[in-house]
Amino acid sequence: MAGQDPTLSTSHPFYDVARHGILQVAGDDRFGRRVVTFSCCRMPPSHELDHQRLLEYLKYTLDQYVENDYTIVYFHYGLNSRNKPSLGWLQSAYKEFDRKDGDLTMWPRLVSNSRLKRSSHLSLLKYWNYRYKKNLKALYVVHPTSFIKVLWNILKPLISHKFGKKVTYFNSLNELHEHLKYDQLVIPPEVLRYDEKLQSLHEGRTPPPTKTPPPRPPLPTQQFGVSLQYLKDKNQGELIPPVLRFTVTYLREKGLRTEGLFRRSASVQTVREIQRLYNQGKPVNFDDYGDIHIPAVILKTFLRELPQPLLTFQAYEQILGITCVESSLRVTRCRQILRSLPEHNYVVLRYLMGFLHTVSRESIFNKMNSSNLACVFGLNLIWPSHGVSSLSALVPLNMFTELLIEYYEKIFSAPEAPGKRGLAPWEQGSRAAPLQEAVPRTQATGLTKPTLPPSPLLAARRRR
C-alpha cells in the first residue's frame, strides 16, 4: 500500500491507525529540523478511524522528536465530509497539546528525563505544557481551503499569537519546496496529482485524469466495507457475517413488533461509533443505546457498504428484466436468477430474506409488509457497478426484493430432486440448508447464531 511503512508490524501499538500512513517522518528541513507530515487524503471514513486513537498516535509519534526542534507539514487535500473529524475533536486536540493540568499517567516516563526538575511537580506541569509546542518551529499548511481559514478564525481565541506566527500557508508544492529538502519529503501521490491539476488550471492546460488511490489493507477484525469472503476467512469459515447475525438476532428477539422498523434513521455519530467498535473487534450491546432502530440502521449500513452488492453486479441486468416476465412466472424467474449467485451470497441472502419474511408476518404491528420492506432494502441489496440506479430501475429492483420476501418459502426451498437440470452444483449437496447448522458462540459479542423458525406454512401442511 502506498504510504504505509513496509516494516510496519501488526504488533505495533497503534497498528490500527499507523497502517493508513497518515503520519510520516520525512527527513529534515533546510535547517536540520525533523519533518513530520500529516496527510488528510489517507484518512479513511470516520467510522473506520477512531479519532481519539489518531490523537494518541500523533502524540506517540511526536514524543520521539519533540525534545529537539521539528516541523510539521500538513497536506490538507483529501479532507472531506466522510473523513473529517468533528470541530469538538479539533478543539479537544488543541487543548490536549496545550493543556496546563498535566497528565499524571506520563509521570514515570517524563520524570526520568534529565531536563526535568524532579523536585518540583510544578516544573512537571510546565514541561508538559511546552514540550509539544515549544520545539515546533514551523507548521506548513499545504493547499489550504476556505474550511481551513474558517476553522482558523474559530480556533483563533484558543491559539496564542506566538504559535500563530509559526503557521505558513502554501498554495502549491513549489512554494513548499523552498523551505524543505524536497527529495526527502514523503508526498502522497494523490497530493501530487492534485497539485498538478491546480497548476494546469492556473496555466490554462487540461488537467491530467485522476486515478483511484490504492486500497488500504483492512484490519484483521474489520466488519464494514470488506467482502463476504474476507469475513468468512476471518471468522473460521462462518458464512453469515457477524454484524448481520448479531443485528438479526437482536431484532428478532426485541424488534419484530416495532412500528416502522427499518424506516427510521439514527444519529450518524452513533452509527459511526458502533461501526468503529465492530471494526476493532469490540463487543456491541444494543441495549446500551436504548433505541431499537439503531441495530436496524446498522444492518442496512452493513449491506450498503459491501464492496459488491449481496445480489452481485452480474445479476443487476437480469433483475431489471423481472417486470417483463409474466406475473405467474416471476417466482420461478427469481429462483433461476438466484441460482447464478455464488454459494456464499446465496446463503447470506437466504438468511436475510428469512428474517425479513418473519418481519413481514408481523406487519399488523410493525406496519412493514413485504412491499414496504422491499422499498427499504431494494437498493441495499443490488446496485449497478458504475453510477447509481436510475429512477426507472427502482420499480424492478423493489419488485424483485418484494418477491424474495413474500414468497420466501417457494424461492428458497430445497430443489425437488438433486441433480435437477440447471441447478448449480452447490445446490445439489449438503449445503442446501446451512442455516440450521449449530454455530459456536463468538468471542466478539457472545451471541449465538439464530436459526430460522419452522415455516408456519410447512407446519400447517404437516398437521394435515
CA distances from 91 to 149, 154, 311 (A): 15, 10, 44
Q: What are the tens digits of pLDDT across the range 328-343? A: 999 999 999 999 999 9
**Which residues, 6+ apart, have CB-to-CB distance to 242 below 8 Å?**
223, 231, 235, 278, 442, 444, 445
Instruction: Return the CATH class of domain 14-99+126-202.
Output: alpha beta
- In this model, does residue 205 exceed pLDDT 50? yes
| Per-residue confidence (pLDDT) for residue 462, from 0 to 100 | 44
| Per-residue confidence (pLDDT) for residue 161, from 0 to 100 | 63
> What residues does 139 pair with on adjacent strands?
72, 167
Q: For the ranges 112-121, 271-280, 377-386, 407-416, which has the lowest average pLDDT?
A: 112-121
Q: What are the tens digits of pLDDT across the range 86-99? A: 766 766 666 665 55
How open is the CA angle 431-434-438, to the nearest 5 degrees?
A: 130
Q: What band does 415 get if pLDDT is binned at 50, 70 and 90?
A: low
Share of the chain above pLDDT 70, in %: 67
3-state DSSP assignment of residue 140: strand
Buried residues in 425-446 as b, exposed as e (16+ CB within 10 A) = ebbeeeebebbeeebeebebbe
Do the beta carbons of residue 224 and residue 243 sit within 8 Å? Answer: yes
End-to-end CA distance of the chain: 62
| Per-residue confidence (pLDDT) for residue 209, from 0 to 100 | 62
Q: For the ranges 137-151, 260-274, 290-304, 352-366, which has the lowest average pLDDT?
A: 137-151
Task: Provide the CATH number for the domain formed by 228-412 in this structure.
Answer: 1.10.555.10
| Annotated domain spans of the chain | 14-99+126-202, 228-412
HSE (CB half, 13 Å, CA atoms) of 111?
Answer: 12
Q: What band does 422 get if pLDDT is binned at 50, 70 and 90?
A: very low
- In this model, does residue 304 exceed pLDDT 80? yes
3-state DSSP assignment of residue 321: helix
Q: Residue length, the chain? A: 464
- In this model, does residue 63 exceed pLDDT 60? yes
* Radius of gyration for the alpha carbons in the chain, expressed in angstroms and rounded: 27
Residue 67 burial by Cβ neighbours in a 10 Å radius (0-12, 13-18, 19+) = exposed
Prediction pTM value: 0.54
Sign of the dihedral through C-alpha 312, 317, 318, 322: positive
3-state DSSP assignment of residue 8: coil
